Amino acid sequence: MPELPEVETVRRGLEPVLIGRRILRAEIRRPDLRWPFPPRMGARLEGARVDALRRRSKYLLADLDTGETLIAHLGMSGRMLVSGGTVGAFHHPLAAALPHDHVILDIEGGARITFNDARRFGAMDLWPTAELGAHRLLAGLGPEPLGNGFHADYLAARLRGRPGPVKALLLDQRLVAGLGNIYVCEALWRARLSPERPGRDVTGTELEALVAAIRAVLEEAITAGGSSLRDYRRADGELGYFQHAFAVYGREGAPCPRCGGAVARLVQSGRSSFHCPACQGASGARAGANTKS
């Protein structure tokens, strides 16, 4: 599933062809994806001007001049692709509809935005912009990890007394929004913390390192256009390439780039956690002091 860097990359790719432009035509080619589309979605979108394009957690939010916001989630395999317009330095010819193109938006200025989702785990909804915080998909989300509300003191307060493994806690969208399996594995490696470490046992100094690691790995992934493992594509159809910089994720048995130990995989709550036991143990911060940086 696309995580924060992938969704932010898509948002940045869509922004030049959407902001200040009207949706001239909205073709809704099926009644639902993961859930039913809102009533009259096509009619409510047609003629609306996109005033802002934001991201909250893993959701794209297009604020319309009608007072509604289009909420979009890419699900497991969703793509939002631009054709018929210029994305970056390249012009992309107008694309013909394909079998898994479920929503097609023709935009003022000649661009076409296509929501393609082979597995249909994606979602779209329309909601009053002024009441967006009450939407069931957005209510209760934690702070953005790149925002000012996410810091070591906040994380200390939320982890205090919680015996669950820090890896699982960081995947809880109520604690911090937008993190997923890939970037939590990579951030824990950078912070030299075991994914099995109880949240309540992570010290203040370790929390400072963890927050810094989370911010750094997300910013680097965004710069790289996200990570393409299976279905993810940027808005221009190109692949992200941060997967080439993974230190541990998906590298079971490979040497740790920091200490040379073998990367291991363990299963936590049905999810694979990749880590280096040699430098991410309970005292990983101390052990790591004797390893390569």
Nearest in space to 3 (alpha carbons), one of 212, 221, 274? 221
CA-CA-CA-CA torsion for 271, 9, 218, 199, nearest 10 degrees? -40
What fold, for 4-134?
Answer: N-terminal domain of MutM-like DNA repair proteins (3.20.190)
- What is the pLDDT at residue 64? 98
What's the chain's length in residues? 293
Q: Break the chain into its structural domains and give their ranges.
A: 4-134, 152-290
Q: What residue type is assigned to position 12 of the chain?
A: R
Known catalytic residues? Answer: 2-3, 58, 271
Q: What pTM, to 2 d.p., does this model score?
A: 0.87
Q: What is the pLDDT of residues 184-234, one digit of tens each?
A: 999 999 999 999 999 999 999 999 999 999 999 999 999 887 775 555 555
Mean pLDDT of 252-276: 95
Mean of per-residue pLDDT scores for the chain: 88
165 phi, psi to nearest 5 deg: -65, 140
Q: What is the band of 94 on the pLDDT scale with cuts at 50, 70, 90?
A: low
Q: What is the band of 96 on the pLDDT scale with cuts at 50, 70, 90?
A: low
What are residue 83's DSSP bridge partners?
112
Cβ neighbours of residue 172 under 8 Å, at least 6 residues apart?
142
Q: What is the pLDDT of residues 67-78, one digit of tens each?
A: 999 999 999 888
CATH number of 152-290, picked from 1.10.8.50, 1.20.140.10, 1.10.10.60, 3.10.180.10: 1.10.8.50
Q: Flag whether pLDDT at 236 surpasses 90.
A: no
Do 4-134 and 152-290 agree at the fold level? no
> 286 in helix, strand or coil?
helix
Nearest in space to 71 (alpha carbons), one of 136, 140, 3, 4? 136
Q: Flag whether pLDDT at 284 surpasses 80.
A: no
- What is the pLDDT at residue 86? 54
